[in-house]
Amino acid sequence: MAGWFPPPGELRDAAYATFANTIGVGLWTAGGALYLTRVAGLPATVVGAGLSAAALVGLAASVPAGRFADRRDPRTLRAVLQVLQAGAALLFLLVDSAASFLAVAAVEALLVTGNLAVRAALVGALGRTAGRVHVFATLRTAANTGTAIGAGLAALALAADSPAAYRLLVVADAATYLISAALLMRLPRYPAADAAERPRTWEVWRDGRYLAVTATTSAMYLRRVVLTLVLPLWIATRADVPTVVVSAVLVTYTVLTVVLSARFGRRAEQAEPAARMVRRGSLVLAVAMLGFAAATTLSTAATVALLLASTAVYSVGELWHVNGATGLSYALAPEHAIGQYQGVTVLLNGLAMAAGPALLTAVIVGSGSPAGWLLPIGLVTVCGLAVPPLTRWARTAPARPAPAAEPVAG
């Protein structure tokens, strides 16, 4: 396993913490819905609607958590949040009604979103010397590996299919948060900026150029559910292939993102190369989705081959988009307000991903026509082409004035 992680040092410690955390993510992603329906006794419709509502509520924590991370050590803050997430995970053991489920799910979503914003601030601190996109890509590799292993371990609970097994899965999920928090505390403290350097206001909301670039790259995250939701339904309803092909598609995607993620991470530290990477990724994603759309018109063998080839192309396009967008989010943000700027990025990404399931399933799966794929294809293409000129515009912004000093207690 060590071969998948960076050399000994701060980045390896952070990667191990991410790996432990995301094993729990994989456990809950694979088995959480079954626990809630078969053990907690909730209808599937309540679970789906509740998780969607909670995810939207959780977005409210993104910018405040990021701004708070500008004022505190992000390592310690993230460790505290993960201890709280362990407690929230255990609260699911007490869920026995729709009301209690919604309450616990909302608390968990607030903590998850806050953790994402603080993680972005921690990446900013870790990447001051190693490169922030490289750090992000390395941690993404660890996250994908951990999630895949967690999903595999969840198969044991699913095979047992008993209340005790599902409850054990919930406890194991909580334990991974505690392990991750302990690993995070092996990192050094990352002191916040001096009081004289901190912005007194919500500076990011007045930075229209940053918001324009980020909103454009975030809109492309609408396609996030293509492989996990839309394509499986498309294959099941429109393609004359065995449903096991869905698993082959997801395995292909997971392996490629794990193997290639870190290799793409050193090419987008500066704003203009990052913008070009987003544009390149958008065009490659468009080509991949054209392949998905065409996969219903061929023989079975040709359809399987096209689906797998398009998945490989999609994986490369996604890596270019994600790493390029990450590079822009750091390169265009002022050093003294990395946390609140990353919080806005988390918020805008989350809004796009929240809209994706309903919109794309209705347009693509609901219509049953390959023409439905033109919406995400057009969206990613237009946004990708717009990013380089928007970035040049953002780079020509007047120099930001020094922030006013905050009052210092005492």
Q: What is the mean pLDDT of residues 257-275?
A: 80
CA distances to 25, 120, 147, 203, 223 from 378, rounded to whole Å, are 32, 29, 31, 32, 11
Task: Determine whether domain 204-395 maps to CATH 3.40.50.360.
Answer: no
Best-predicted range by mean pLDDT among 25-29, 187-191, 230-234, 381-385? 381-385
Phi-psi region of 41 (alpha: psi -120 to 50; beta: other; left: phi over 0): left
Query: What confidence category does residue 406 fall into, taking pLDDT thresholds of 50, 70 and 90?
Result: very low
**pLDDT of 348:** 92
Contact by Cβ (8 Å): 106, 57:
yes
This prediction has a pTM of 0.79
**pLDDT tens digit string along 71-98?**
888 899 999 999 999 999 999 999 999 9
Positions of CATH 1.20.1250.20 in the chain: 7-188, 204-395
Q: What is the mean pLDDT of residues 359-365?
A: 87
Contacts of 366 (CB under 8 A, 6+ apart): 372
CATH superfamily, domain at 7-188 = MFS general substrate transporter like domains (1.20.1250.20)
SS3 assignment for 366-381: HCCCHHHHHHHHHHHH
**pLDDT of 2:** 46
Q: How far is it, in rounded angstroms, from Cα 240 to Cα 253?
A: 21
Higher pLDDT pick, 262 / 166:
166
Residue 153 pLDDT more than 80? yes
Higher pLDDT pick, 306 / 130:
306
**pLDDT of 279:** 96
Higher pLDDT pick, 64 / 7:
64
Residue 292 pLDDT more than 80? yes
**pLDDT of 380:** 96
**pLDDT of 405:** 42
Q: What is the mean pLDDT of residues 91-108?
A: 93
**pLDDT of 403:** 47
Residue 384 pLDDT more than 60? yes
Quick check: helix, strand or coil at residue 53? helix
Query: What confidence category does residue 193 fall into, taking pLDDT thresholds of 50, 70 and 90?
Result: low
Q: What is the mean pLDDT of residues 380-393?
A: 96
Query: What confidence category does residue 147 fall into, taking pLDDT thresholds of 50, 70 and 90?
Result: confident
**pLDDT tens digit string along 309-354?**
999 999 999 999 999 998 898 889 888 888 888 889 989 998 898 8
**pLDDT of 293:** 92
Higher pLDDT pick, 311 / 410:
311
Contact by Cβ (8 Å): 78, 380:
no
Residue 192 pLDDT more than 70? no
Q: What is the mean pLDDT of residues 140-151?
A: 87
Q: How far is it, in rounded angstroms, from Cα 241 to Cα 315?
A: 21
Query: What confidence category does residue 116 fall into, taking pLDDT thresholds of 50, 70 and 90?
Result: confident
**pLDDT of 410:** 30
Contact by Cβ (8 Å): 327, 319:
no
- Percent residues over pLDDT 70 in the chain: 92
Q: What is the mean pLDDT of residues 360-380?
A: 90
| DSSP state, residue 405 | P
Residue 107 pLDDT more than 60? yes
Query: What confidence category does residue 266 fall into, taking pLDDT thresholds of 50, 70 and 90?
Result: low
DSSP 133-200: HHHHHHHHHHHHHHHHHHHHHHHHHHHH-SHHHHHHHHHHHHHHHHHHHHHHTTSPP-PPPPGGGS-S
Quick check: helix, strand or coil at residue 351? helix
